[in-house]
Structure 1
Amino acid sequence: MGGVTPDGRCTMSVVSDTIDWLTDGANWTGDGGIPTRLAEHLGYTALTVAVAAAIAIPLGLWVGHTGRLRGLAVVSSGTLRALPTLGVLTWAALQSGGNRLVPAVLALTVLAIPPLLAGAYAGLESVDRATIDAARAIGMTEWQILVKVEIPLAADLIVGGLRSATLQVVATATIAAYIGLGGLGRYIIDGQAVSDYARMLGASVLVVALALALDGLFVLAQRAVSRTSAPVPQP
């Protein structure tokens, strides 16, 4: 038997209403339509991951290549993971003086940095030291070793970190609506205000579908890069 919602409605009815909401053509048009909200959600995700990657991947590559400050990188990643994203968003919004995009990107960037950082330095650490020694033996510079040997061999784990960060941001970007932005979270916030569970559940389904689609693309990307490896330098 189905359960009931907080307002006493049968959950089976909510599921039926959700299907109706998702298939209603009116919800797929206009400024507040699903395609628009989906594009906004992807935009927040892409911007956040780009900002986080610009910070975390170079730092992770440096840590992985040199072996320096690894302990600090691990501790910092753990600390950032422990920060509540909604709390960071609320604090940043209060400090922003009315700007809404910056707090949202900041909060989501804090969420995205740890997997990107870990993927970069763990990827380089996984490279066989004998391969690196061989590269040095034939006269490669440290930059050449990084670009031509370590990064290609670590690409699978680096893409894995990018995959993890993207999925976490996609799932969490709904909080952008909490401070008045768009995205799929808009349906959840607005639906909650009027107890429209069909709209809220429909938005959740769309977020899951988007995450699965992106995950599938990253699986293909990881398979592609795993087939490519740097030639082993011969002394």
Structure 2
Amino acid sequence: MLKEYKKIYVLIAIARLVEEGKKNISTRELSKVIGVSHQSASRYLKELEKEKLIETVISSKGRLIKLTSKGVDQIKLHVGSILSTINKVYVTHVFTGKVFTGLGEGAYYISRKPYFEQFYNKLGFYPYVGTLNLKIESYMDQLLLAEKMAKPPIIIHGFSNHERTFGDVYCYPVVIGDKYDGAIVRALRTIYDNSVVEIISKYNLRKELSLKDGDRVTFLFKTLAIEKAP
């Protein structure tokens, strides 16, 4: 029998795909989103359909999935419980992320002089030219992270030069590895989804913490930001 937390996780994943405009969701597509095999996803769906939380239709594209009103009610019920938990723990929550190598775009953008000077003026340090990229794997951490980053950020304002326009960057001060001050940076245009954070610091964090791809590192939000987003 499917455990309750897995049931809600799958229902929320389906709801998220619908919100993104997916009218027909295949089992294979869902399996990629929730990170399980096609066979496991099929088993989950059978149990959800048995409880009348979803409806499925077999088509030329495979099994297509749709939430029922009962399924939507289940999501609403559990989201309320999740938010209650978030309100209790998010202030001091320690996040864990898995290190991975990005595409190097962070170093390019950070080094632009108009950004660079604002980092110093607003965050109190000139950043090492490069970001520490972390994948947030825990579902609860992802929910707590979204709650944190819904707060007003410190804004590094965009600018234009003769070549192109650079957008605003939102910053959230953090402490990494219980020792190093830094900030999560999030561009308004990014190739990453919300489960990825890019962190800057005046230190080369990979070197200081002896990190390699696949290692896990913790971080803690320091304070709420001081400048409101427009």
User: Rg: which structure is higher?
Assistant: 1
TM interval, shorter chain, is under 0.3
Taking CA–CA contacts closer than 8 Å with sequence separation of 6 or more, which of the two structures ends up with the larger relative contact order?
A: 1
Q: Which has the higher strand share?
A: 2
- TM-score under structure 1 length normalisation: 0.26
